Amino acid sequence: MHAQMSIIRDIVYASVSHGANFSKFCADLGIAPEDLNNSEKLVDFEPAARVWDIALEQTGDPLLGLHIGEEISPGILGMTGYLMQNCRSLREAMLAFCKFNNVFSTIFEYRVHDEKNLTRIHFQPHEFWIKKYPESARQSVEISMSGLLRLFRLLVDKKVVPAKAELVYPKRSIEEYERILSCQIKFSSDKNALTFDENTVKLSVSRHDVSLFSFFNAALQQKLDEQTKLKGFAETLKTQILTKFKGQVPPIEIAASTLGLTTRSLQRKLKEENLNYRELGNHIKKELTGSILKNGNVKVKDIAVLLGYSDSSAFRKAFKKWNFDTR
């Protein structure tokens, strides 16, 4: 799991403008200041998730994500931001953003869902992130919401007002949320989402350019394909399970179908890398468990539920097997 350095860099710089100490921030995060200039570098999960905890501690602003989102530019998303600027409509920009999300982050998922005359964009941090760094995950949702609204306004040269905003988190500073998101907020919802009416998503992007759209779309697709090839099939499948299934290993038939493969083809590809599906699933569960257990606030029963076990005893049995399996 990773996030692109350009995102981390912008959060660091924005936090500094809100009162954080640059040198101390980089030291606490464990990132060399010069590395922030490497926009294409991929940052591992731990520093990518902890960046918000450090930012909150140093700025003292509990709504920092919302406030930074108001200030961002398309450049924070690199080529994806430039692609969005050259889409035909706001809806096309939303779809492009979701499609190429994995280029800049595999710890956060965005989905577009149509329902009657409404379009909803969902914001979902990885379940592992939510469990280990809950406030950091909330900040990531809130910067994404306020940031996308900011980008949408820049794309169409007018204020974009959602029909509705929903957050799974409890209420706080209601007036400030409504000011920034420009609509009423449903807190303690079952989803993180912004909903837009049909006319809003049809708005034309003011700087749409067909040739630039084709260029950035092709470049991003190539980059996505290269990432897949470099990772190898097992790593690609692992990423799919972590992002699409929130770490719960699905039946092999379902995993295969999400990649457009037959079960036999999936098994063959794993065999070429000296693995089988059960071994890969156990490796994912063991890795997630080890990381989650570093957070002393998480209970065993919560880990069991997260990983799809029927009860704590079934999880404990599997955990013992992983740790005594010497293969």
Q: How confident is the model at residue 19 (pLDDT cuts 50, 70, 90)?
A: very high
The total of other beta-carbon atoms located within 10 Å of residue 264's CB is 9
Query: What is the model's pLDDT at position 327?
Result: 38
Q: What is the reported pLDDT for 300?
A: 61
Mean pLDDT, residues 88-106 taken together: 84
For residue 103, name the pLDDT band (cuts at 50, 70, 90): low
Q: Is residue 95 predicted with pLDDT exceeding 60?
A: yes
- Statement: residue 3 has pLDDT above 80: no
Find which of 29-33, 99-103, 140-144, 249-253 is predicted with most confidence, using mean pLDDT.
140-144
pLDDT greater at residue 272 or residue 245: 272
134-156 vs 45-59: helix axis angle to the nearest 10? Answer: 90
Nearest to 204 by CA among 164, 162, 161, 158: 158
Looking at residue 235, what is its pLDDT? 79
> In this model, does residue 193 exceed pLDDT 70?
yes
Contact 118, 196 (CB under 8 A): yes
* pLDDT recorded at residue 326: 36
**Structure confidence at residue 303 as a pLDDT band (50, 70, 90):** low
At 5, is the pLDDT very low, low, confident or very high (cuts 50, 70, 90)? confident
Choice between 38 and 32, residue whose per-residue pLDDT is larger:
32
Instruction: Return the pLDDT at 181.
Output: 95
Whether residue 221 contacts residue 227, with contact meaning beta carbons closer than 8 Å, is answered with: no
Q: Which amino acid is at 254?
A: I
At residue 50, the pLDDT reads: 87
Cβ atoms of residues 191 and 122 within 8 Å: yes
Quick one: pLDDT at residue 183?
94
Mean pLDDT of the chain: 84
Look at residues 171, 176, 168 and name the one whose alpha carbon lies nearest to residue 67: 176
pLDDT computed for residue 295 by the predictor: 54
- Residue 108 confidence (pLDDT): 83
Q: Which of 51-55, 132-136, 294-298 has the lowest mean pLDDT?
A: 294-298
291 pLDDT more than 70: no
pLDDT(283) > 90: no
Tell whether the model's pLDDT for residue 321 goes beyond 80. Answer: no
Query: Does residue 232 carry a pLDDT above 70?
Result: yes
Question: What pLDDT is recorded for position 8?
Answer: 87
- Evaluate if residue 323 carries a pLDDT over 70: no
- pLDDT of 172 reads 95
Region 151-157: mean pLDDT is: 94
Per-residue pLDDT for 322 more than 80?
Answer: no
Q: How much is the pLDDT for 43?
A: 80
| pLDDT confidence of residue 47 | 81
Percent of the chain with pLDDT over 90: 40
Give the type of residue at 174.
I
For the ranges 49-58, 194-203, 308-317, which has the lowest average pLDDT?
A: 308-317
